[in-house]
Structure 1
Amino acid sequence: MLTISEFMNSRYSALTCFILVFAFYTHDVKASSGIRCLGSEPNEELNVDVKVYECSYFYSFNFQNLVESVKFYPITNVGMLATPEDSSLMLGLGGGADWEILPKVNLLAEGGVYWLEDHDFGVRGVAYKDYGGPWQFFAKAGASYSIAKNWDLGYAYLHISNGGRYYVNPSYDGHSLFVNYAF
């Protein structure tokens, strides 16, 4: 796993800075943008302890205020698949929908594509996990609760797989906790 100093000296730091600058620069101040940071643990024991960490930028909008409680958004993700011995950069694009079902309570659904810098972890024959290739699909479903103005805490179920594109198609299924900041 990367340490903070290794991260700051790596190619990931420039990419992360670019995404954060883009995330805070919007032309339409009436739009609802946000950043969501998520940590995910697998829902079953794997032979290699794989965890997912990601931050997502989203830009919410609704279609001419037809349904005020439903918002749609494109998302950009940057994160990593991490094991105790190794990690892989993970970039993603996708879309989602957010529905305010009660005051302060929202449901969300997202999907899209990830690109992984590295897709195999561990040592063959000992403890090994191969996701088949660099292109993976993801789906998330969850709920959040507004704890303060612009801040939400939530839970999402995360599924990642390659959809049978490669010779193996293991999935990652995990329970995720996230914090969301809207601006």
Structure 2
Amino acid sequence: MSATLRERLRKTRRSFNGAFSVAKRLKVDCEENESSSDCPNNNLPSHKDSELNATKTDVNFVSVEDVHRLSSGTSSAASSPINSKDSFHHQEMLQEKKLLLKKVKEKEDTLRRLKMAKLYRSKNNLSELQSLIEKWRKGSQLLLYELQAALSAENNKVTLTQLIESCGLDEKLLHYSRTEEDFTDQ
């Protein structure tokens, strides 16, 4: 293995902050010689690794900082569970914060919709709109009757159904019944 590659691997191992200590246990010099006698305890877990595994089984969550401290050997066994409990508490608080932010967003959306509905109802008085629709319907019905009378005077017998279809009007809006061939509300 070249010297530059070996140096890059060493720098990578030092800067690695992952939750797995496998990359830190790699021995570049042992790979060059490819003999297990040159690498003592290559397959045996170290004391630091067993301490890490014991900490992982005691606490559900271990932060990256705790793993880094355990692998470097700077923290004591007594302070590690406290820090991991703090980090677990911190994770719980972050999850609760996300949940609360989601609920606040939903409430804001509901409030926005309610404000829009209130604005629409205050801007458009429903009883006034209903009276305008009825006036339009009665005016349209009278106009269709007059149009039918004018076309009948020219010797063309035209039904209301033919007039409504030729004008492209909706029968439901006009309250027109095809079976009776008349308007239902007059």
Q: Same fold (TM over 0.5)?
A: no
Normalising by structure 2, we get a TM-score of 0.21
Greater helix fraction, Structure 1 or Structure 2: 2
Normalising by structure 1, we get a TM-score of 0.21
Higher relative contact order (CA 8 A, sep 6+): 1
The structure whose Rg is larger is 2
